[in-house]
Chain A
Amino acid sequence: MRRCFLLLLFLAPVSAFAELDISDAWIKNLPAAVPVRAGYMTIHNPQSHAVSIVALRSESFASVELHRRLMQDGMMRMEAVPDLTVNPGETVQLAPGGLHLMLMQPVEPTRPGELHRIVIEFDDGSQQGLEMTVRK
């Protein structure tokens, strides 16, 4: 019981405000020689107010950023997205070839099937945790 309570205490700061409905969150696996991974998910805002993601972090990666792929001068280019606002009722897709998470320097080589915990920070200071599955 006591262990359970401690566990709840540990989880509370990141799960108290599940502001966004996040589904199908996954990480594209790559061989260990490559120190970056892309992450994808579907984000829906069920709130009556806009929600802005201002930072991401994970204990499994040195840093996590939002990136967008765009086409410029006939070339594909990656651009960091400093914040992402999801309007009330809006659904944003993070999908291959578009908006995605850039997960840099895995602490350990990733393997398909693993779960990695990511924490999303919002502009009002609240946070939300989620699990992302590594896929081949």
Chain B
Amino acid sequence: MNKSSIVIVAALALAVGFALSWFVASNKPVALESGTWFGDQARALPEFELLDHNKQPLTRASLEGKWNLIFFGYTHCPDICPASLQTLSEMMGSIEDPDVTGALRVYFVSVDPERDRPEVLSEYVRYFDPAFIGATAEMDRLKPLTRSLGIAHQIRNRVEGNPVYDVDHSSAIVLVNPQAEFAGLFGAPQDAMAMARDMTRIVEYN
């Protein structure tokens, strides 16, 4: 093999390598104005099984095929959770392109499974947007998912028999791509219009 053919083979290998890394990396780089994007180095979610507000299983496979925005909270939270869900509802309402809204799904995952039964979740999420999906699971089923997304939560001041207690939780909105990989984060306080522009950019660009 002469010197020039070695150069050609090396160049080809390099090109294939780049093409492969482009293909393996789930999404293209996108600059966001209100969130943090790591879709080009997206991380697969672990397997999980929650129960949605219609008492149907919600698994990793359920997230495939759409861009998913997931907020973790609890219904007995009157201040920050309604504000975030309202923002998500306004975000959906302000996106004019039906191809973009059709590619998005919004989830509210309760980290207070004891009080947030499916009936409560159903009434709660539909109050903000009939298309929103509420879900939860017992703590041991919930933890692997929240841990993999860096969402911290804990129940505090719990006294046996007393229905009043506190739930602390991260307030970021998690972005999961159509391959069910963790692709981005929108930290609180979220801005509906900025998120609408960011999600439009993500869906149109990828």
B153 contacts partner chain A, Cβ-Cβ < 8 Å:
yes
CB distance from B151 to the nearest CB of A (A): 9
Q: How far is the CA of A69 from the CA of B77 in the complex (A)?
A: 11
- A interface secondary structure, majority: strand
Q: In the complex, which residues 11-48 of chain A have their Cβ closer than 8 Å to any Cβ of chain B?
A: 28, 30-38
Q: Is the CB of B79 within 8 A of A31?
A: no
In this complex, which of B78, B156, B164, B166 has the most chain A Cβ atoms within 10 angstroms of its Cβ?
Answer: B78
Given contacts A34-B75, A102-B78, contact A75 B169 (CB under 8 A): yes
Does B25 interact with chain A (Cβ within 8 Å)?
A: no
Which one of A31, A32, A35, A103 has the greatest number of beta carbons of chain B within 10 Å?
Answer: A31
- CA–CA, A78 and B77, complex, Å: 9
Give CA–CA (A101, B120) in the complex, Å: 23
Q: Bound state CA distance, A102 and B82, in angstroms? A: 13
* B interface footprint on A66-101 (CB within 8 Å = 1, 0 otherwise): 010100111111100000000000000000110010
Contact of A78 among B82, B152, B166, B189 (CB under 8 A): B166
CA distance A78 to B78 in the complex (A): 10
Q: Which residue of B lies closest to A37 (CB)?
A: B78
Whether the pair A96, B119 counts as a contact (CB closer than 8 A) is no
Q: How far is the CB of A136 from chain B (nearest CB, A)?
A: 9
| Chain A positions within 8 Å of B79 at CB level | 28, 38, 67, 69, 78, 96-97, 100
Task: Determine the interface band of chain A, counting residues with CB < 8 A from chain B.
Answer: 20 to 34
Question: Could you count the A-B residue pairs with CB atoms below 8 Å apart for me: how many are there?
Answer: 72
Q: Write out the residue numbers on chain B whose beta carbons fall within 8 Å of the beta carbon of A69.
A: 79-80
Residues of B within 8 A of A36 (CB): 76-78
> Is the pair B120, A77 in contact by a Cβ cutoff of 8 Å?
no
Considering the chains assembled together, what is the distance between the CA atoms of A73 and B151 in angstroms?
11
In this assembly, does B64 line the interface, its C-beta being within 8 Å of a C-beta of chain A? no
Taken together as a complex, chains A and B put the C-alpha atoms of A100 and B124 apart, in Å, by 21
CB-CB < 8 A to A38: which residues of B?
78-79, 82
Interface centre among B75, B79, B123, B164 (most CB of A within 10 A): B79
Assess whether B171 is interfacial by the CB under 8 Å rule.
yes
The docked-state distance in angstroms from the alpha carbon of A132 to that of B77 is 20
Q: Point out the residues of chain A lying under 8 angstroms from B22, CB to CB.
A: none
